[in-house]
Structure 1
Protein backbone atom coordinates (compact mmCIF):
# COMPACT_ATOMS: atom_id res chain seq x y z
CA UNK A 1 0.00 0.00 0.00
CA UNK A 2 1.34 3.43 -0.94
CA UNK A 3 0.43 6.83 0.43
CA UNK A 4 -1.80 8.81 -1.94
CA UNK A 5 -0.37 12.04 -3.43
CA UNK A 6 -1.21 15.21 -1.56
CA UNK A 7 0.05 17.93 0.75
CA UNK A 8 1.43 16.52 4.03
CA UNK A 9 3.41 17.76 6.99
CA UNK A 10 7.12 17.36 6.29
CA UNK A 11 8.55 14.72 8.74
CA UNK A 12 11.90 16.54 8.64
CA UNK A 13 10.40 19.94 9.55
CA UNK A 14 7.09 19.92 11.40
CA UNK A 15 6.61 23.65 10.73
CA UNK A 16 6.29 23.15 6.97
CA UNK A 17 4.12 21.20 4.55
CA UNK A 18 5.26 19.62 1.26
CA UNK A 19 3.66 17.77 -1.63
CA UNK A 20 4.02 13.96 -1.72
CA UNK A 21 3.62 12.55 -5.26
CA UNK A 22 3.42 8.90 -4.19
CA UNK A 23 7.18 8.27 -4.51
CA UNK A 24 8.92 11.28 -3.00
CA UNK A 25 8.64 14.90 -1.92
CA UNK A 26 8.07 17.38 -4.75
CA UNK A 27 8.63 21.13 -4.88
CA UNK A 28 9.36 23.64 -2.18
CA UNK A 29 7.84 23.61 1.31
CA UNK A 30 5.12 25.97 2.52
CA UNK A 31 4.22 26.98 6.10
CA UNK A 32 2.13 24.35 7.90
CA UNK A 33 -0.68 26.81 8.59
CA UNK A 34 -0.89 28.01 4.97
CA UNK A 35 -3.65 26.73 2.68
CA UNK A 36 -2.06 24.36 0.14
CA UNK A 37 -3.05 24.54 -3.55
CA UNK A 38 -5.38 21.95 -5.04
CA UNK A 39 -2.72 20.14 -7.04
CA UNK A 40 1.06 19.72 -7.05
CA UNK A 41 3.24 22.82 -6.75
CA UNK A 42 4.27 24.59 -9.97
CA UNK A 43 7.75 23.72 -11.24
CA UNK A 44 10.47 25.92 -9.83
CA UNK A 45 12.07 28.28 -12.39
CA UNK A 46 15.70 27.52 -13.23
CA UNK A 47 18.22 29.72 -11.41
CA UNK A 48 19.39 32.78 -13.31
CA UNK A 49 23.12 32.51 -14.05
CA UNK A 50 25.13 35.28 -12.47
CA UNK A 51 28.04 36.62 -14.49
CA UNK A 52 30.93 37.60 -12.23
CA UNK A 53 32.12 41.14 -12.67
CA UNK A 54 35.87 41.58 -12.81
CA UNK A 55 37.25 44.36 -10.61
CA UNK A 56 38.34 47.53 -12.28
CA UNK A 57 41.88 47.40 -13.61
CA UNK A 58 42.13 43.58 -13.53
CA UNK A 59 43.57 42.05 -16.70
CA UNK A 60 41.00 40.15 -18.75
CA UNK A 61 41.42 36.77 -20.38
CA UNK A 62 42.01 38.50 -23.65
CA UNK A 63 44.84 40.68 -22.40
CA UNK A 64 46.49 38.57 -19.67
CA UNK A 65 50.21 39.39 -19.65
CA UNK A 66 52.49 36.71 -21.00
CA UNK A 67 49.78 34.82 -22.84
CA UNK A 68 50.39 34.42 -26.57
CA UNK A 69 47.67 35.77 -28.83
CA UNK A 70 45.64 33.52 -31.05
CA UNK A 71 46.40 34.14 -34.67
CA UNK A 72 43.70 35.93 -36.54
CA UNK A 73 43.34 37.60 -39.90
CA UNK A 74 44.75 41.09 -39.76
CA UNK A 75 42.08 43.59 -40.50
CA UNK A 76 41.00 46.92 -39.26
CA UNK A 77 39.78 46.84 -35.70
CA UNK A 78 41.05 43.28 -35.09
CA UNK A 79 41.95 42.67 -31.46
CA UNK A 80 44.21 39.68 -30.74
CA UNK A 81 42.61 37.15 -28.39
CA UNK A 82 44.58 35.59 -25.60
CA UNK A 83 45.75 32.00 -25.96
CA UNK A 84 46.71 29.48 -23.26
CA UNK A 85 49.58 30.30 -20.87
CA UNK A 86 53.12 29.55 -21.97
CA UNK A 87 53.85 25.80 -21.92
CA UNK A 88 50.20 24.78 -21.92
CA UNK A 89 48.66 22.51 -24.54
CA UNK A 90 46.26 23.50 -27.30
CA UNK A 91 43.24 22.62 -25.11
CA UNK A 92 44.18 24.90 -22.20
CA UNK A 93 45.99 22.15 -20.27
CA UNK A 94 49.58 21.97 -19.04
CA UNK A 95 52.17 20.31 -21.20
CA UNK A 96 51.78 16.50 -21.16
CA UNK A 97 48.12 16.50 -20.25
CA UNK A 98 45.46 14.77 -22.32
CA UNK A 99 43.71 16.23 -25.38
CA UNK A 100 40.76 17.45 -23.26
CA UNK A 101 42.73 19.07 -20.48
CA UNK A 102 42.89 15.91 -18.32
CA UNK A 103 45.88 14.84 -16.18
CA UNK A 104 48.25 12.18 -17.52
CA UNK A 105 46.83 8.65 -17.26
CA UNK A 106 43.22 9.75 -16.90
CA UNK A 107 40.44 8.52 -19.14
CA UNK A 108 39.08 10.37 -22.16
CA UNK A 109 36.09 11.66 -20.17
CA UNK A 110 38.17 13.30 -17.45
CA UNK A 111 37.93 10.35 -15.04
CA UNK A 112 40.75 8.64 -13.13
CA UNK A 113 42.38 5.60 -14.65
CA UNK A 114 40.29 2.44 -14.19
CA UNK A 115 36.95 4.17 -13.73
CA UNK A 116 33.93 3.12 -15.74
CA UNK A 117 32.70 4.73 -18.97
CA UNK A 118 30.10 6.82 -17.10
CA UNK A 119 32.48 8.37 -14.57
CA UNK A 120 31.75 5.92 -11.76
CA UNK A 121 34.31 4.22 -9.47
CA UNK A 122 35.32 0.61 -10.14
CA UNK A 123 32.70 -1.89 -8.90
CA UNK A 124 29.84 0.61 -8.82
CA UNK A 125 26.67 0.14 -10.82
CA UNK A 126 26.13 1.57 -14.32
CA UNK A 127 24.03 4.44 -12.93
CA UNK A 128 26.57 5.54 -10.35
CA UNK A 129 25.09 3.57 -7.45
CA UNK A 130 27.22 1.90 -4.74
CA UNK A 131 27.60 -1.90 -4.78
CA UNK A 132 24.53 -3.68 -3.37
CA UNK A 133 22.03 -0.96 -4.20
CA UNK A 134 18.83 -1.98 -5.98
CA UNK A 135 18.60 -0.29 -9.42
CA UNK A 136 15.65 2.06 -9.70
CA UNK A 137 15.12 2.36 -5.91
CA UNK A 138 16.23 5.89 -5.02
CA UNK A 139 15.59 5.49 -1.31
CA UNK A 140 13.05 4.27 1.21
CA UNK A 141 10.05 6.61 1.58
CA UNK A 142 9.52 8.20 4.99
CA UNK A 143 7.54 6.19 7.53
CA UNK A 144 3.95 7.42 7.85
CA UNK A 145 3.01 9.18 11.08
CA UNK A 146 -0.80 9.22 11.37
CA UNK A 147 -1.83 12.36 13.27
CA UNK A 148 1.84 13.00 14.07
CA UNK A 149 2.22 9.73 16.04
CA UNK A 150 4.60 6.85 15.39
CA UNK A 151 3.17 3.56 14.17
CA UNK A 152 3.17 0.80 16.80
CA UNK A 153 5.67 -1.95 16.13
CA UNK A 154 4.59 -5.57 15.68
CA UNK A 155 6.40 -6.65 18.84
CA UNK A 156 4.43 -4.23 21.01
CA UNK A 157 1.15 -5.26 19.41
CA UNK A 158 1.88 -8.97 19.91
CA UNK A 159 2.75 -8.55 23.61
CA UNK A 160 -0.36 -6.40 24.14
CA UNK A 161 -2.54 -9.10 22.54
CA UNK A 162 -0.99 -11.83 24.71
CA UNK A 163 -1.72 -9.77 27.83
CA UNK A 164 -5.35 -9.38 26.72
CA UNK A 165 -5.61 -13.14 26.08
CA UNK A 166 -4.35 -13.78 29.62
CA UNK A 167 -7.01 -11.45 31.05
CA UNK A 168 -9.79 -13.09 29.00
CA UNK A 169 -8.53 -16.55 30.03
CA UNK A 170 -8.72 -15.54 33.71
CA UNK A 171 -12.30 -14.39 33.18
CA UNK A 172 -13.13 -17.74 31.57
CA UNK A 173 -11.69 -19.62 34.54
CA UNK A 174 -14.07 -17.73 36.81
CA UNK A 175 -17.19 -17.76 34.63
CA UNK A 176 -16.73 -20.75 32.35
CA UNK A 177 -14.88 -23.10 34.72
CA UNK A 178 -17.94 -25.07 35.84
CA UNK A 179 -19.08 -25.73 32.25
CA UNK A 180 -15.60 -26.94 31.27
CA UNK A 181 -15.51 -29.28 34.26
CA UNK A 182 -18.89 -30.77 33.34
CA UNK A 183 -17.84 -31.19 29.71
CA UNK A 184 -14.68 -33.06 30.75
CA UNK A 185 -16.78 -35.35 32.99
CA UNK A 186 -18.94 -36.27 29.99
CA UNK A 187 -15.94 -37.08 27.82
CA UNK A 188 -13.75 -38.84 30.40
CA UNK A 189 -15.35 -42.36 30.17
CA UNK A 190 -15.03 -42.41 26.39
CA UNK A 191 -11.40 -41.21 26.27
CA UNK A 192 -10.37 -43.44 29.21
CA UNK A 193 -11.64 -46.57 27.47
CA UNK A 194 -10.17 -45.50 24.09
CA UNK A 195 -6.78 -44.90 25.71
CA UNK A 196 -6.85 -48.31 27.45
CA UNK A 197 -7.61 -50.10 24.17
CA UNK A 198 -4.90 -48.17 22.41
CA UNK A 199 -2.32 -49.27 24.97
CA UNK A 200 -3.41 -52.88 24.43
CA UNK A 201 -3.27 -52.57 20.65
CA UNK A 202 -7.01 -53.02 20.28
CA UNK A 203 -8.29 -50.86 17.40
CA UNK A 204 -11.92 -51.92 17.72
CA UNK A 205 -14.47 -49.19 18.39
CA UNK A 206 -17.25 -51.55 19.48
CA UNK A 207 -18.46 -51.17 23.02
CA UNK A 208 -16.94 -47.74 23.60
CA UNK A 209 -18.95 -45.59 26.02
CA UNK A 210 -21.13 -43.25 23.95
CA UNK A 211 -20.65 -39.47 24.09
CA UNK A 212 -23.87 -37.97 25.32
CA UNK A 213 -25.68 -35.10 23.65
CA UNK A 214 -25.10 -33.08 26.78
CA UNK A 215 -21.38 -32.99 25.96
CA UNK A 216 -22.14 -31.30 22.63
CA UNK A 217 -24.42 -28.75 24.29
CA UNK A 218 -21.78 -28.01 26.91
CA UNK A 219 -19.19 -27.45 24.18
CA UNK A 220 -21.46 -24.93 22.43
CA UNK A 221 -22.11 -23.15 25.73
CA UNK A 222 -18.38 -22.97 26.54
CA UNK A 223 -17.50 -21.41 23.18
CA UNK A 224 -20.42 -18.98 23.32
CA UNK A 225 -19.56 -17.84 26.86
CA UNK A 226 -15.87 -17.41 25.92
CA UNK A 227 -16.85 -15.27 22.92
CA UNK A 228 -19.23 -13.16 25.01
CA UNK A 229 -16.55 -12.57 27.68
CA UNK A 230 -14.06 -11.45 25.04
CA UNK A 231 -16.66 -9.10 23.54
CA UNK A 232 -17.55 -7.59 26.93
CA UNK A 233 -13.86 -7.11 27.77
CA UNK A 234 -12.56 -5.55 24.55
CA UNK A 235 -15.30 -3.63 22.72
CA UNK A 236 -16.30 -1.10 25.44
CA UNK A 237 -12.65 -0.37 26.29
CA UNK A 238 -11.69 0.14 22.64
CA UNK A 239 -14.73 2.32 21.98
CA UNK A 240 -13.72 4.76 24.72
CA UNK A 241 -10.01 5.44 24.21
CA UNK A 242 -8.77 2.74 21.83
CA UNK A 243 -6.95 0.84 24.60
CA UNK A 244 -7.38 -2.45 26.42
CA UNK A 245 -5.31 -3.45 29.44
CA UNK A 246 -2.63 -4.90 27.18
CA UNK A 247 -2.47 -1.79 25.02
CA UNK A 248 -2.23 0.41 28.12
CA UNK A 249 0.71 -1.62 29.40
CA UNK A 250 2.50 -1.44 26.02
CA UNK A 251 1.59 2.26 25.50
CA UNK A 252 -0.21 1.84 22.19
CA UNK A 253 -3.76 2.60 21.05
CA UNK A 254 -6.01 2.31 18.03
CA UNK A 255 -7.28 5.45 16.32
CA UNK A 256 -9.35 6.08 13.17
CA UNK A 257 -7.33 6.87 10.07
CA UNK A 258 -9.26 10.03 9.27
CA UNK A 259 -9.00 11.74 12.69
CA UNK A 260 -7.42 11.39 16.12
CA UNK A 261 -10.61 10.68 18.05
CA UNK A 262 -12.31 7.81 19.96
CA UNK A 263 -13.34 4.80 17.90
CA UNK A 264 -16.94 4.70 19.07
CA UNK A 265 -18.94 1.53 19.78
CA UNK A 266 -19.79 0.75 16.15
CA UNK A 267 -16.23 0.94 14.85
CA UNK A 268 -14.87 -0.93 17.90
CA UNK A 269 -17.42 -3.71 17.30
CA UNK A 270 -16.48 -4.01 13.61
CA UNK A 271 -12.83 -4.15 14.59
CA UNK A 272 -13.44 -6.95 17.12
CA UNK A 273 -15.78 -9.14 15.07
CA UNK A 274 -13.10 -9.98 12.46
CA UNK A 275 -10.94 -11.55 15.16
CA UNK A 276 -13.36 -12.38 18.01
CA UNK A 277 -16.33 -13.89 16.17
CA UNK A 278 -14.03 -16.53 14.71
CA UNK A 279 -13.97 -18.10 18.19
CA UNK A 280 -17.39 -19.58 17.44
CA UNK A 281 -15.75 -21.63 14.66
CA UNK A 282 -13.20 -23.31 16.92
CA UNK A 283 -15.19 -26.60 17.08
CA UNK A 284 -15.31 -26.69 13.24
CA UNK A 285 -11.95 -28.45 12.78
CA UNK A 286 -10.08 -25.39 14.08
CA UNK A 287 -11.17 -23.12 11.22
CA UNK A 288 -11.76 -20.25 13.62
CA UNK A 289 -8.28 -20.59 15.09
CA UNK A 290 -6.76 -20.54 11.60
CA UNK A 291 -8.62 -17.32 10.73
CA UNK A 292 -7.38 -15.71 13.93
CA UNK A 293 -3.80 -16.76 13.19
CA UNK A 294 -3.93 -15.21 9.70
CA UNK A 295 -5.40 -12.02 11.15
CA UNK A 296 -2.67 -11.85 13.81
CA UNK A 297 0.23 -12.03 11.33
CA UNK A 298 -1.35 -9.80 8.67
CA UNK A 299 0.36 -6.58 9.95
CA UNK A 300 3.69 -8.06 8.83
CA UNK A 301 2.67 -7.86 5.16
CA UNK A 302 0.72 -4.59 5.21
CA UNK A 303 2.80 -1.57 4.20
CA UNK A 304 3.22 1.15 5.11
CA UNK A 305 0.52 1.38 7.84
CA UNK A 306 1.03 -2.13 9.37
CA UNK A 307 -2.71 -2.78 9.62
CA UNK A 308 -4.21 -6.14 10.54
CA UNK A 309 -7.32 -7.43 8.80
CA UNK A 310 -9.52 -6.11 11.62
CA UNK A 311 -7.83 -2.68 11.26
CA UNK A 312 -8.54 -2.61 7.53
CA UNK A 313 -12.19 -3.47 8.09
CA UNK A 314 -12.68 -0.78 10.76
CA UNK A 315 -10.40 1.79 9.02
CA UNK A 316 -8.15 2.09 12.07
CA UNK A 317 -4.42 2.19 12.68
CA UNK A 318 -2.42 1.37 15.84
CA UNK A 319 0.01 4.07 17.03
CA UNK A 320 2.32 4.58 19.96
CA UNK A 321 1.24 6.71 22.90
CA UNK A 322 3.88 9.42 23.47
CA UNK A 323 5.35 9.57 26.95
CA UNK A 324 4.33 12.66 28.91
CA UNK A 325 7.23 13.94 31.01
CA UNK A 326 5.78 17.34 31.89
CA UNK A 327 3.02 19.83 31.12
CA UNK A 328 2.15 20.01 27.43
CA UNK A 329 3.94 22.76 25.59
CA UNK A 330 1.94 25.37 23.73
CA UNK A 331 2.00 24.99 19.98
CA UNK A 332 1.66 28.12 17.89
CA UNK A 333 0.96 25.95 14.86
CA UNK A 334 -1.25 23.03 15.91
CA UNK A 335 -1.04 20.16 13.53
CA UNK A 336 -4.31 19.42 11.71
CA UNK A 337 -5.49 15.88 12.25
CA UNK A 338 -5.11 13.34 9.51
CA UNK A 339 -2.70 15.28 7.27
CA UNK A 340 0.49 13.26 7.72
CA UNK A 341 1.25 10.56 5.17
Structure 2
Protein backbone atom coordinates (compact mmCIF):
# COMPACT_ATOMS: atom_id res chain seq x y z
CA UNK A 1 0.00 0.00 0.00
CA UNK A 2 1.40 3.38 -1.03
CA UNK A 3 1.98 6.10 1.53
CA UNK A 4 -0.71 8.78 1.08
CA UNK A 5 1.80 11.46 2.09
CA UNK A 6 4.21 10.59 -0.72
CA UNK A 7 4.78 13.77 -2.72
CA UNK A 8 3.20 16.00 -0.04
CA UNK A 9 5.07 18.46 2.17
CA UNK A 10 6.09 17.12 5.60
CA UNK A 11 3.56 16.98 8.43
CA UNK A 12 3.27 20.18 10.43
CA UNK A 13 4.93 20.39 13.81
CA UNK A 14 2.43 20.03 16.69
CA UNK A 15 3.76 23.23 18.24
CA UNK A 16 2.97 25.18 15.07
CA UNK A 17 -0.53 23.70 15.09
CA UNK A 18 -1.04 24.85 18.67
CA UNK A 19 0.22 28.38 18.02
CA UNK A 20 -1.99 28.62 14.91
CA UNK A 21 -5.07 27.68 16.99
CA UNK A 22 -4.12 30.22 19.66
CA UNK A 23 -3.82 32.95 17.00
CA UNK A 24 -7.23 32.00 15.56
CA UNK A 25 -8.85 31.83 19.01
CA UNK A 26 -7.56 35.33 19.82
CA UNK A 27 -8.56 36.66 16.40
CA UNK A 28 -12.13 35.46 16.93
CA UNK A 29 -12.33 35.59 20.72
CA UNK A 30 -11.14 39.11 21.48
CA UNK A 31 -13.50 41.03 19.15
CA UNK A 32 -16.35 38.63 19.88
CA UNK A 33 -15.67 38.92 23.60
CA UNK A 34 -16.00 42.70 23.42
CA UNK A 35 -19.25 42.39 21.47
CA UNK A 36 -20.58 39.75 23.87
CA UNK A 37 -19.60 41.85 26.88
CA UNK A 38 -21.83 44.69 25.71
CA UNK A 39 -24.57 42.41 24.35
CA UNK A 40 -24.87 40.41 27.58
CA UNK A 41 -23.94 43.15 30.02
CA UNK A 42 -20.77 41.52 31.31
CA UNK A 43 -19.17 38.12 31.63
CA UNK A 44 -21.43 36.44 34.19
CA UNK A 45 -20.63 32.75 33.82
CA UNK A 46 -23.06 31.60 36.50
CA UNK A 47 -26.01 33.78 35.67
CA UNK A 48 -29.15 32.46 34.00
CA UNK A 49 -27.69 30.48 31.08
CA UNK A 50 -25.63 33.48 29.96
CA UNK A 51 -22.58 31.25 29.67
CA UNK A 52 -24.44 28.78 27.45
CA UNK A 53 -25.49 31.51 25.01
CA UNK A 54 -22.01 33.02 24.95
CA UNK A 55 -20.50 29.57 24.30
CA UNK A 56 -23.08 28.91 21.60
CA UNK A 57 -22.33 32.18 19.79
CA UNK A 58 -18.55 31.65 20.04
CA UNK A 59 -18.85 28.05 18.80
CA UNK A 60 -21.00 29.01 15.83
CA UNK A 61 -18.81 31.97 14.85
CA UNK A 62 -15.62 29.89 15.14
CA UNK A 63 -17.27 27.09 13.12
CA UNK A 64 -18.21 29.54 10.36
CA UNK A 65 -14.72 31.10 10.34
CA UNK A 66 -12.86 27.78 10.37
CA UNK A 67 -15.13 26.13 7.80
CA UNK A 68 -15.02 29.06 5.39
CA UNK A 69 -11.26 29.51 5.60
CA UNK A 70 -10.52 25.80 5.23
CA UNK A 71 -12.85 25.25 2.29
CA UNK A 72 -11.64 28.32 0.40
CA UNK A 73 -7.91 28.46 1.28
CA UNK A 74 -7.01 25.36 3.26
CA UNK A 75 -5.67 27.71 5.94
CA UNK A 76 -6.94 29.97 8.66
CA UNK A 77 -5.14 33.19 9.51
CA UNK A 78 -3.29 31.36 12.30
CA UNK A 79 -2.21 28.61 9.92
CA UNK A 80 -1.06 31.22 7.39
CA UNK A 81 1.04 32.90 10.08
CA UNK A 82 2.60 29.55 11.02
CA UNK A 83 3.03 28.49 7.37
CA UNK A 84 0.98 25.32 7.67
CA UNK A 85 -2.14 24.15 5.85
CA UNK A 86 -4.84 21.50 5.94
CA UNK A 87 -4.69 18.91 3.17
CA UNK A 88 -6.80 15.94 2.17
CA UNK A 89 -5.00 12.78 3.25
CA UNK A 90 -5.58 10.99 -0.05
CA UNK A 91 -4.34 13.66 -2.47
CA UNK A 92 -3.08 16.77 -0.63
CA UNK A 93 -5.84 19.00 -2.00
CA UNK A 94 -7.62 21.77 -0.09
CA UNK A 95 -10.58 20.28 1.87
CA UNK A 96 -13.24 21.91 -0.31
CA UNK A 97 -16.88 21.38 0.64
CA UNK A 98 -17.94 18.69 3.09
CA UNK A 99 -14.48 17.70 4.42
CA UNK A 100 -13.64 21.28 5.43
CA UNK A 101 -17.00 21.84 7.09
CA UNK A 102 -16.89 18.42 8.80
CA UNK A 103 -13.45 19.21 10.21
CA UNK A 104 -14.64 22.61 11.45
CA UNK A 105 -17.80 21.12 13.01
CA UNK A 106 -15.98 18.37 14.90
CA UNK A 107 -13.52 20.95 16.25
CA UNK A 108 -15.73 23.93 17.07
CA UNK A 109 -19.19 22.63 17.94
CA UNK A 110 -18.75 20.00 20.71
CA UNK A 111 -18.05 22.58 23.48
CA UNK A 112 -21.61 23.82 22.97
CA UNK A 113 -22.87 20.59 24.58
CA UNK A 114 -22.82 21.19 28.34
CA UNK A 115 -20.21 19.19 30.31
CA UNK A 116 -19.39 16.26 28.01
CA UNK A 117 -18.81 18.48 24.96
CA UNK A 118 -15.77 20.08 26.57
CA UNK A 119 -14.39 16.67 27.53
CA UNK A 120 -14.77 15.46 23.92
CA UNK A 121 -13.11 18.65 22.66
CA UNK A 122 -10.13 18.10 24.95
CA UNK A 123 -9.72 14.47 23.85
CA UNK A 124 -10.08 15.61 20.24
CA UNK A 125 -7.27 18.15 20.35
CA UNK A 126 -4.77 16.03 22.31
CA UNK A 127 -5.38 12.96 20.12
CA UNK A 128 -2.58 14.06 17.77
CA UNK A 129 -0.04 13.56 20.56
CA UNK A 130 -0.22 9.78 20.24
CA UNK A 131 -1.73 9.28 16.78
CA UNK A 132 0.52 7.51 14.31
CA UNK A 133 1.57 7.88 11.58
CA UNK A 134 -0.22 11.10 10.57
CA UNK A 135 -0.53 12.98 13.92
CA UNK A 136 -4.24 13.52 13.32
CA UNK A 137 -6.69 14.93 15.83
CA UNK A 138 -10.20 13.47 15.80
CA UNK A 139 -11.41 16.37 13.63
CA UNK A 140 -8.72 15.40 11.09
CA UNK A 141 -9.81 11.77 11.18
CA UNK A 142 -13.48 12.72 10.69
CA UNK A 143 -12.61 14.77 7.59
CA UNK A 144 -9.73 12.53 6.37
CA UNK A 145 -7.28 15.44 6.50
CA UNK A 146 -3.74 16.07 7.69
CA UNK A 147 -1.91 19.28 8.56
CA UNK A 148 1.24 19.83 6.54
CA UNK A 149 3.85 22.52 6.04
CA UNK A 150 2.69 25.14 3.52
CA UNK A 151 4.88 25.42 0.46
CA UNK A 152 3.63 28.83 -0.68
In structure 2, how many angstroms separate the alpha carbons of the residues matched to 1:289 and 1:147?
Answer: 36
Change (3 A) 1:303 1:176: same
CA offset at residue 257 of structure 1? 1.3
TM-score, length of structure 1 as denominator length: 0.41
Residue among 118, 137, 152 paired with 2:12: 152
Question: Which residue pairs with 2:98 in the alignment?
Answer: 266
In structure 1, how many angstroms separate the alpha carbons of the residues matched to 2:141 and 2:85?
Answer: 15
**C-alpha contact 2:83 2:149 (8 A) present in aligned 1:** yes
Change (3 A) 1:175 1:228: farther
Question: Which residue pairs with 2:83 in the alignment?
Answer: 251
Deviations 1:268-322 (A, max 9, x none): 11101112111212xx3x3222211111111111111111100011000110013
Residue among 111, 115, 127 paired with 1:298: 127
In structure 1, how many angstroms separate the alpha carbons of the residues matched to 2:55 and 2:46?
Answer: 16
Question: Which residue pairs with 1:165 in the alignment?
Answer: 25
**C-alpha contact 1:279 1:289 (8 A) present in aligned 2:** yes
Give RMSD over aligned pairs. Answer: 2.3
More helix by share: 2
CA offset at residue 146 of structure 1? 4.4
In structure 1, how many angstroms separate the alpha carbons of the residues matched to 2:125 and 2:41?
Answer: 30
TM-score, length of structure 2 as denominator length: 0.87
Where relative contact order (Cα < 8 A, 6+ residues apart) is larger, the structure is 2
Deviations 1:11-43 (A, max 9, x none): xxxxxxxxxxxxxxxxxxxxxxxxxxxxxxxxx
Say if 2:152 is the partner of 1:320: no
Larger-gyration structure (1/2): 1
Question: Which residue pairs with 1:307 in the alignment?
Answer: 136
Question: Which residue pairs with 1:25 in the alignment?
Answer: none
In structure 2, how many angstroms separate the alpha carbons of the residues matched to 1:186 and 1:308?
Answer: 31
In structure 2, how many angstroms separate the alpha carbons of the residues matched to 1:178 and 1:151?
Answer: 41
Deviations 1:45-97 (A, max 9, x none): xxxxxxxxxxxxxxxxxxxxxxxxxxxxxxxxxxxxxxxxxxxxxxxxxxxxx
Deviations 1:207-242 (A, max 9, x none): xxxxxxxx22x3332222111211222110010121
| Corresponding residue pairs, total | 152
Say if 2:69 is the partner of 1:237: yes
